A and B are shown apart, each in its own frame.
Chain A
């Protein structure tokens, strides 16, 4: 090929890959445009403070679903975070031979298991013995989804703590467990919080595993052993219903949901800006 031909190919491929990158982020623009266009008019104070109205009545809100989502995610975080962070510390600090490799592999595999399958698991584990759909079952499903994300990010961040810090503490005669709890984890804190927020943003939008665990509810929540509303569930129910009014509510709900998810993602991004940019 001539030098000129090679230059042309170079530019063409540069253009094509740039086009691919543009197409990859195009949906974001499109979805945002439609969410604002369709949903913004229905997002008002009533949306955040009122229960859904019956079919045919104008207005109403998704306050119960927003509260339900917060409860579900909070409960899931309470269940999943301690275990996940401890697991991550284990992977980073352990000198065992085979177990870390297996656990790391399983965590990665678990993060690839479809969320609806995890919903079935929570159903068999919690709903069947309790004989009813419940907030608890939904939270268990979400916790299982969070777990691998938290494990892997905390492992990575504990590993980033310079070993000189560890060695300095150990040289002072401080036992290993205190070194980990008082020196290593506090140093990695900002990064671990980021990982936690990424996990929370991920599960906050999950719908499939809640369909037959949390189940949904048109009223305020009545305890952790009862079905509970969740914003993604409500959006789904409203989107597939045949009422225009409900469709507007679904768009509004989606706008609120995506707003929540993006705020958490952005916060996670800002929290680690600069700190680990050299590493990734």
Chain B
């Protein structure tokens, strides 16, 4: 008689039963692995398909694609610099507003708010995140842009107009509108992830600081924020990843002009919006390939930003687990 792993011996009948059972389990495991493998394959296929369809543009333009700023479909000249610039500047502007707001809101929700207030506010923040992009865009066109044009931009122009950032005619739509709408969309996301990070900080940290006579805020600053720093950076990066790839709302308020202008009042263009606007109009194969190459760039950048962010957020999760065990 054979022995199982548990050191029990089996009768022949039990052995055949065990063998039969194993077949079912084996099939089940194969099916599960296939599902997992499909997911892996999907990401690989995504990268491969984009690369394959972008090849004509990559071969034709090489590195010039990234550093030239002429985008002329008629002459088949494609340089993506204005889009890269627009994406970077609008996302940077958004992060400038969204990171302090998002992390501040998370600190309030996780540490400082009265306990009864936390669940409803957290839920409202979740709802802000659930508003579809196109609805933000609609609101941006008809509410935010006129507001900027008639009030905010003239005021900024007359007070800070000596800076090149705030010069030029107030159109309403433009880089500033895009940055603000992006910030609104990214804040709830940063808040949600930061809150999770803060909640993962062990209570012993807080208790130690409180026992030393620290105030609530000092506890937060010294014990909680410093402990969760890498996770909070990760939350900010996840928000950045969102902002870089956000399409509809930005397309609707940024003005869609492929020029590099220093002023935040001027219209711009982002990588995601040029794809959204021109993809169905791309008549030649090279034009299409150039647009897909822009998408590929966006893909690579967001993967890098998100990968880094996930590692940082996981690191705090892992550290917390170790501390608890």
User: A-side interface residues toward B, CB under 8 Å?
Assistant: 6-7, 9-10, 13-14, 16-21, 23-25, 27-28, 30-31, 34-35, 38, 83, 86-87, 89-91, 93-94, 96, 99-100, 102-103, 105-110, 112-118, 120-121, 123-125, 128, 144, 147, 151, 173, 175-178, 180, 201-202, 204-208, 211-212, 215, 232, 235-236, 239-240, 247, 250-251, 254, 257-258, 261-262, 265, 269
Contacts and interface: CB of A to CB of B under 8 A. Distances in A.
A106 B36 CA distance: 10
A261 to B, nearest CB: 6
A176 B31 CA distance: 13
A30 B305 CA distance: 31
Interface stretch (B63-71, B73-81, B236-244): B236-244
**B contact residues, range:** 35 or more
B130 A232 contact: no
B135 A257 contact: yes
A110 B33 contact: no
Given A207-B134, A211-B276, A106 B217 contact: no
Contacts of A151: 39
A211 B280 contact: yes
Given A18-B108, A90-B32, A178 B24 contact: yes
Contact of B272 (A38, A108, A114): A114
Contacts of A99: 33, 36-37, 40
Given A10-B215, A94-B32, A28 B128 contact: yes
A3 to B, nearest CB: 9
Q: Which A-B residue pairs are the 6 nearest by beta carbons?
A: A114-B245, A205-B132, A20-B104, A177-B28, A112-B306, A86-B35
B276 A86 contact: no
Contact of B247 (A105, A115, A175, A251): A115
B81 to A, nearest CB: 19
A251 B310 CA distance: 37
27 contacts: A10-B218, A17-B112, A18-B108, A20-B108, A28-B128, A31-B136, A87-B36, A89-B35, A96-B33, A102-B40, A106-B40, A106-B43, A109-B43, A109-B307, A112-B245, A112-B310, A113-B303, A116-B298, A117-B50, A120-B292, A144-B42, A177-B25, A206-B133, A208-B247, A235-B135, A239-B141, A262-B127
Contact of B279 (A10, A96, A178, A212): A212
Contacts of A177: 24-25, 27-28
Nearest to B272: A116
B275 A116 contact: yes
A4 B234 CA distance: 35
Nearest to B139: A31
Interface string B23-66: 01101110111011111101101100110110000000000000
B135 A258 contact: yes
Contacts of A93: 32
Contacts of A83: 35, 38-39
B105 interface: yes
B184 A27 contact: yes
B262 interface: no
Contacts of B37: 99
Contacts of B272: 114, 116, 208
A175 B35 contact: no
Given A18-B113, A20-B100, A265-B130, 9 more contacts: A9-B215, A87-B35, A99-B40, A112-B309, A115-B245, A116-B275, A120-B53, A239-B137, A265-B127
B134 A254 contact: yes
Interface in B114-129: 121, 123-128
A188 to B, nearest CB: 15
Contacts of B246: 114
A14 B28 contact: no
B108 A175 contact: no
A94 B261 CA distance: 53
Nearest to B241: A112
B40 A28 contact: no
Contacts of B127: 28, 262, 265
A262 B128 CA distance: 10
Contacts of A7: 215
Given A90-B32, A116-B295, A28 B131 contact: yes
A121 B46 contact: yes
A86 B32 contact: yes
A93 B33 CA distance: 11
Contacts of A105: 307, 310
A24 B42 contact: no
A202 B133 CA distance: 10
Contacts of B152: none
B162 interface: no
B124 A28 contact: yes
B237 to A, nearest CB: 10
Contacts of B305: 112
Contacts of B124: 25, 28
